[in-house]
Amino acid sequence: MKNSSLPSIKTFGTGGTIASKGATSATTAGYSVGLTVDDLIEAVPSLTNKANLDFLQVSNVGSESLNYTQLIPLYHNISEALASDEYAGAVVTHGTDTMEETAFFLDLTINSEKPICIAGAMRPATATSADGPMNLYQAVSISASEKSLGRGTMITMNDRIASGFWTTKMNANSFDTFIADEQGYLGYFSNDDVGYYYPPVKPNGCQFFDASNLTDASEVPEVIILYSYQGVNPKLIVKAIEDLGAKGIVLAGSGADSWTTTGNIVNEEIFEEYNIPIIHSRRTVDGGVPRDDVPEWAIGSGYLNPQKSRILLQLCLYSGYSIDHISQFFPAFTVVEGW
Ligand code: GLU
């Protein structure tokens, strides 16, 4: 029975630690996915005071196994729910490892003022002091709050409300892992109240991509990330394009515009031969690659890390944009019109 005085929220389960069970209450590693999204909702009875919850299981895996095969239906289901008058917002339960990628993709493609909040957990549901139930409760509260309108896709973990566009998983193990060091948090969840530090605003560089006709993972162009290290093989880019069919490359350079000299010679030759976009991002957890700091055949990723750069480049390629046009989409240090 729906409570007509409460908003309705559609909740999508995808798997992850939040839906996992371990052997004992002290097991915090080596657990596996074993709960469905309705199990997660049932475990938090106080959710009925916050919202009417409908749910859909989109997948039930660790988020390292997610890809466009699951993301595309997730996107369509969320779009449909938010387009209807029935729902005030959406919640996604998700593994933490690639949560930032899903959040970034949804932030760029969902065309709605209604909030989407993604929550996960760092401890499985069976652990003492499991964090999942509170994270889910707070995610529903955030999406059910009118204060959350116009803020796009958010991530909530550990009482903090973070931007899906900027936030990164910084620590493989600790609770307080979702951070956007430079850009900060959007707000804080305190004693059953959603609080924001600023009025609603979209991040600079957060552009909308129309994915409404995207139906199959095969329609998304392959973009491969290459990781820098001392002695990185300069031919990896050749393999990525010629053997693996990459239509774009993201370089996780050692710093801001830092790829080996020999590698850059090969990269330039590849660019001239195939005319595909090559994004210079960084392997460092934070910082940026300025537009003016990269070779003329490359595009600086601005503040975006490699995994977010990959998704942005894929959406640009899917949209049929030219390399010149694509370069305008990467949030840069250099201020360009409208940013
Ligand atoms: N690797 C798993 C995942 O991302 C578990 C990690 C987690 O959810 O915290 O789904």
User: Among candidates 61, 287, 305, 289, which has minimal Cα distance to 168?
Assistant: 305
End-to-end Cα distance, the chain: 46
- For the Cβ of 118 lying below 6 angstroms from any atom of ligand 1, the answer is no
Q: Which of 84, 96, 75 is nearest to 19 (CA)?
A: 96
Could you tell me whether strands 32-33 and 20-21 are parallel, antiparallel, or unpaired per DSSP bridges?
antiparallel
Looking at residue 297, what DSSP letter applies?
T
Q: pLDDT tens-digit profile of 4-23?
A: 999 999 999 999 999 999 99
Q: What is the helix, strand, coil percentage profile of the chain, to 5?
A: 30, 20, 50
Distance 31 CA to ligand 1 centre (A): 10
pLDDT confidence of residue 334: 45
Q: Whose CA is nearest to atom 8 of ligand 1?
A: 95
pLDDT of residue 179: 93
Mutate to test the pocket of ligand 1, among 14, 18, 20, 99 (most ligand atoms within 8 A of CB): 20
CA separation for the pair 161, 147 (Å, rounded): 12
For the Cβ of 62 lying below 6 angstroms from any atom of ligand 1, the answer is yes
253 Cβ contact list (under 8 Å, min separation 6): 228, 259, 280, 281, 282, 283, 289
Name the amino acid, one letter, at 256: A
CB of 120 within 6 A of ligand 1: the answer is yes
Q: Is the CB of 146 under 6 A from ligand 1?
A: no
Low-confidence ranges of the chain (pLDDT < 50): 333-339
Paired sense of beta strands 178-179 and 187-190, if any:
unpaired
Out of 27, 61, 63, give the residue to mutate to test ligand 1, the one with the largest number of ligand atoms within 8 Å of its CB: 63
* 14 in catalytic set: no
Active-site position among 11, 17, 109, 126: 17
